[in-house]
Chains A and B, each alone.
Chain A
Amino acid sequence: MAGKTLYDKLWDSHVVHEESDGTCLIYIDRHLVHEVTSPQAFEGLRMAGRKPWRADTLVANPDHNTPTKDWDKGIEDPISRLQVETLDSNIKETGALVYFPFKHANQGIIHVIGPENGTTLPGMTVVCGDSHTSTHGAFGALAHGIGTSEVEHVMATQTLIAKKSKRMLVKVDGQLGKGVTAKDVALAVIGKIGTAGGTGYAIEFGGEVIRALTMEGRMTICNMAIEAGARAGIIAPDEKTAEYLKGRQYAPKPEQWEQAVAYWNTLKSDADAVFDCVVELKGEEIAPQVTWGTSPEQVLPIGATVPDPAKEVDTTKRTSIENALKYMGLAANTPIEKIKVDKVFIGSCTNSRIEDLRAAASVAKGKKVAGNVVLAMVVPGSGQVKRQAEAEGLDKVFIEAGFEWREPGCSMCLAMNSDRLSAGERCASTSNRNFEGRQGPGGRTHLVSPEMAAAAAIAGHFVDVRSL
């Protein structure tokens, strides 16, 4: 009998009940909650007279609607404010392990605060009404997004109704060149397999490049698994994982630490494990990536030119290219380095951790944002990240270069607060989605790494960060 994959081990250790058709009840260890996808679930619980099964598994925090400046003015949009206040009152009613209300010193993006407080641990199942829950797979947790009905189901029963996914291994061997980051690996993978390439799969990321990444880099890659269509991305825990977690508030206490690490060490795919699909990339072949279209799979290396729909034989694909170029205001065959940007956004659950800010600051240091860039903003992922960055003087580097240094939150990744693009504005963004209207109606998003975003801010157009 073949060995088990990491996904199999995580799945098998959480099955509570299995129906004859393979539909299972899966036990959920950690439930992350934010203000946008939870109010209807709390309301559903109340209407049915149900209570949360284990409120001590809830980690909650508003992030999507919260402003990133002028916190003293509160939340000006009354609809946003009501949604945030509704989360306050819901958590007050149910209780939670962790709750950071708006303006709390540790408030931030839910996918940043989970790991940094040690509430995401190897071997856990982690869910949230948010597709970027895949981020937490970086710790060797089975983590994925769910809908609001499922948020209610998990609260009421501590389980999720689910069927096992297929198993994909994305193996990135070799090593990354200077200036090439986890974000570029994620975009290169999506460019290779497409935004539906991972549909129906849980992706395990492995290989020398993945092992060499920091926890921040691993979180960036798993975060983007959903953009490849896979609900969950997973990376086997190792010494770096344990090192990252040690001493964090909700990590295992010293008396349980050795037992926990011993268990975590078993969380890896067996040598003879069989995957349903294996995709291989070579680190050396990955260049800094820039998306040119309106889907994350519409991505190319920095040195490339925007595609020409006339060269595409498949009619659906040709139409997609034509639609994307029209929306993005780009002519076929334009070199990516010639594309000018109006705004730059460094932040989001993909790239707002301390390492991302250090990398962007190293590019911006001593330089000035180009005159054609109307706004370059840095939005740290959490209060903790912000304080750390300020302790290292990164805020000063950004401000001196002409960037705005903001308060933590989701911000212009999805523009639910007032941070957004105007119609026709073009943005170099470290976020995860370049969909039409994602960063504001009519806004044009190009996804890049923090280094590439900072470099675009300085040059005023996309530029190969390796050439600086």
Chain B
Amino acid sequence: MKAFTQINGLVCPIDRANVDTDAIIPKQFLKSIKRSGFGPYLFDEWRYTNYGEPGMDCSTRPINPDFALNQARYQGAQVMLARDNFGCGSSREHAPWAIEDQGFRVIIAPSFADIFFNNCYKNGILPIVADAAVVDRLFKECQANEGYKLNVDLSSQTVTLPSGDSFTFEITPTRKHNLLNGLDEIGLTLQHADEIKAFEVKHKASQPWLFA
């Protein structure tokens, strides 16, 4: 996976609760057999006013000027600010692929859906769960101040606001280590190959029908 250490990134607000992965990347784009190139279709139905198809040149499509991603002040954003239950619904990893391809490396929300949360780490995106009150404050400050940036540091697990105020976030030591170092998780797991084989011997002895 891609490593993540620290960024000082422009913040883009997506001010809706329960944003589902169908909204993040609609199904027609899931027909691709690649894992890159989804960025232009991120939030396709909210971002453009016509129907998007895979392979379409998005530079000429009519846009919804009210949608944050289309506004000049949020261009180049690396931090997405979101509401409760972000990424609910389908398990499609195309959602974090699209978010990452668009240039985001951090998502801050009061809560995330489980599968999406997990998928983020696999793609070098840091999902940060913050207090609803903190997220509210970030939304207000971000909307009031053009060029609003947050400094996100993984090793100290800290987000620092422009005012100098900061808050810390939780991450499991294993995830933190893997993300900081951009480690290949499959390679790491295969270091336990003997344990997996030993488990299989025991498992087969107790439930032989699982090894038809």
Q: Quick one: which of A62-107 are within 8 Å of B by CB? A: 64-65, 77, 79-80, 82-83, 86, 97
Q: Tell me whether A123 is interfacial, beta carbon within 8 Å.
A: yes
Residues B175-212 near A (CB distance < 8 A): 175, 185-186, 189-190, 192-193, 195-196, 199-200, 203, 206-212
Count of chain A residues with Cβ under 8 Å from any Cβ of B? Answer: 81
- Write the B74-115 contact mask toward A (1 if CB under 8 angstroms, else 0): 000000000111001111110010000000000000011111
What number of A-B contacts does a CB cutoff of 8 Å give?
193
| A441-B45 in contact (CB<8A) | yes
| Residue numbers in A under 8 Å from B92 (CB-CB) | 36-37, 147
| Bound complex: CA A165 to CA B118 (Å) | 13
CA distance A416 to B196 in the complex (A): 37
Question: Would you give the 0/1 interface string for A157-180, flagging 1 where the beta carbon is closer than 8 Å to chain B?
Answer: 111010101000000000000000
Determine whether B157 belongs to the interface, using a CB cutoff of 8 Å to chain A: no
Instruction: Determine which of A226, A259, A295 lies in contact with B18 in the assembled complex, contact meaning CB atoms within 8 Å.
Output: A295
A275, CB-defined interface residue at 8 Å? no
The residue from A50, A148, A416, A437 contacting B31, defined by CB atoms under 8 A apart: A416
Measured CB to CB, the closest approach of chain B to A161, in angstroms, equals 6
Q: A193-201, A367-375, A396-404, A453-461: which one contacts chain B?
A: A193-201
Smallest CB separation, B188 vs chain A (Å):
9
Please measure, in the bound complex, the distance between the C-alpha atom of A151 and the C-alpha atom of B15, giving whole angstroms. Answer: 31
> Contact partner of A40 among B17, B22, B33, B51, CB < 8 A?
B33
With A433-B22, A433-B89, A436-B45 as contacts: A256 and B115 at CB distance below 8 Å: no
With A and B bound together, what is the CA distance between A16 and B122 in angstroms?
21
B183 CB, min distance to chain A CBs, angstroms: 11
Assuming the contacts A131-B91, A316-B17, asked whether A153 and B192 have C-beta atoms less than 8 A apart, the reply is: no
**Taking A16-B195, A21-B174, A263-B206 as contacts, is the C-beta distance between A131 and B89 under 8 angstroms?**
yes
Decide if B119 touches A149 in the complex (CB within 8 Å). yes
Q: How many residues of B contact A (CB 8 A)?
A: 61
Residues of chain B within 8 A (CB-CB) of A27 are 196, 199-200, 203
Residues on B lying within 8 angstroms of A by beta carbon are 1, 16-18, 20, 22-23, 26-28, 30-35, 45, 51, 54-55, 83-85, 88-93, 96, 111-115, 118-119, 122-123, 172-175, 185-186, 189-190, 192-193, 195-196, 199-200, 203, 206-212
A interface residue numbers (CB < 8 A to B)? 16-17, 19-23, 25, 27, 29, 36-37, 39-40, 43, 48, 50, 53, 56, 64-65, 77, 79-80, 82-83, 86, 97, 121, 123-124, 129-131, 144-150, 152-153, 156-159, 161, 163, 165, 195-196, 199-200, 226, 229-231, 250-253, 256, 259-260, 263, 295, 316-317, 319-320, 323, 414-416, 433, 435-438, 441
Interchain residue pairs with CB less than 8 A apart (17): A23-B174, A56-B212, A86-B33, A129-B93, A130-B90, A145-B91, A147-B122, A148-B35, A149-B93, A149-B185, A150-B118, A150-B122, A153-B185, A200-B114, A231-B114, A317-B17, A433-B22
Q: Known contacts A80-B31, A435-B22; can you find 13 more A-B pairs with CB under 8 A?
A: A23-B172, A36-B31, A53-B196, A130-B90, A130-B91, A147-B93, A148-B93, A150-B122, A159-B196, A161-B174, A226-B89, A433-B20, A435-B89
